[in-house]
């Protein structure tokens, strides 16, 4: 999937009352003053002055447009921002975090996560096969632990599957 298709599916932000007014003001200014060479900054300054001089009755149509846009955005995002329900009884995934990370963070407190990852990657490449074997054994043990816990979890959850479905519907 290309990045442009991901971007196009993302909803645009909410336009406030003033944004609707600015859009109308620009359209009106283009029609009335098509020959004028005012800068965009000048037009926006005039637009702000016009907005400040308006009373609530004149702002009412823009307030309604803003409220409609907010409610439309809320309904659009309603299904998108929901977190997926995670069973608290599910086993934790295998933990493949090397034991050196806490020690490395203490030695280099100023580094951010990306720099830490880069430095640890370099150290990993420099390690000999025998040194790497220790970590591979730990990872295999942890993976075996996870698989055992997952089997137990699946056996338990197959018995109480309707309860989980009911919990999801309630959320």
pLDDT tens per residue across span 66-113: 888 888 887 777 666 666 778 888 888 766 665 677 888 888 888 888
**More confident position, 63 or 171:** 63
In a domain, 34, yes or no: yes
Q: Which residue has the higher pLDDT, 125 or 158?
A: 125
Whole domain around residue 57: which residue ranges? 10-77
Distance (Å, rounded) from C-alpha 30 to C-alpha 19?
17
- Pick the residue with more confidence: 78 or 139? 139
Residue with tokens 């309860």: 163
Q: What is the pLDDT of residues 14-64, one digit of tens each?
A: 788 888 888 888 888 888 877 777 788 888 888 899 999 999 999 899 889
**72 & 104 share domain:** no
Structural domain includes residue 49: yes
Q: How many domains is the chain built from?
A: 2
CATH code (residue 21): 1.10.30.10
88 located within any domain: no
Q: Is the pLDDT of residue 144 over 50?
A: yes
Please report, for residues 38, 157, 166, the alpha-carbon distance to residue 88 in angstroms, rounded to integers and kept in the order given.
61, 12, 15
Residues 66 and 119 in one domain: no
In a domain, 94, yes or no: no
pLDDT number for residue 148: 92
pTM higher than 0.85: no
Supply the pLDDT for residue 9. Answer: 60
Please indicate, yes or no, if residue 87 is contained in any of the structural domains. Answer: no
* Residues 113 and 155 reside in one and the same domain: yes
């Amino acid at each position: 999937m290309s990045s442009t298709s991901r971007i196009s599916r993302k909803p645009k932000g909410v336009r406030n009352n003033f944004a609707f007014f600015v859009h109308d003001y620009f359209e009106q200014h283009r029609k009335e003053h098509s020959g004028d060479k005012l800068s965009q900054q000048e037009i926006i300054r005039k637009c702000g002055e016009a907005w400040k001089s308006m009373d609530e009755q004149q702002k009412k149509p823009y307030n309604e447009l803003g409220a409609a846009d907010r409610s439309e955005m809320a309904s659009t995002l309603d299904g998108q921002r929901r977190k997926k329900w995670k069973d608290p009884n599910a086993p934790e995934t295998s933990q493949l975090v090397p034991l050196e990370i806490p020690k490395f963070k203490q030695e280099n407190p100023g580094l951010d996560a990306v720099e830490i990852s880069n430095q640890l990657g370099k150290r990993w490449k420099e390690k000999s096969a025998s040194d790497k074997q220790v970590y591979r054994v730990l990872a295999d043990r942890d993976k075996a632990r996870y698989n055992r816990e997952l089997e137990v979890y699946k056996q338990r959850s197959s018995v109480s599957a309707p309860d989980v479905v009911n919990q999801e519907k309630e959320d």
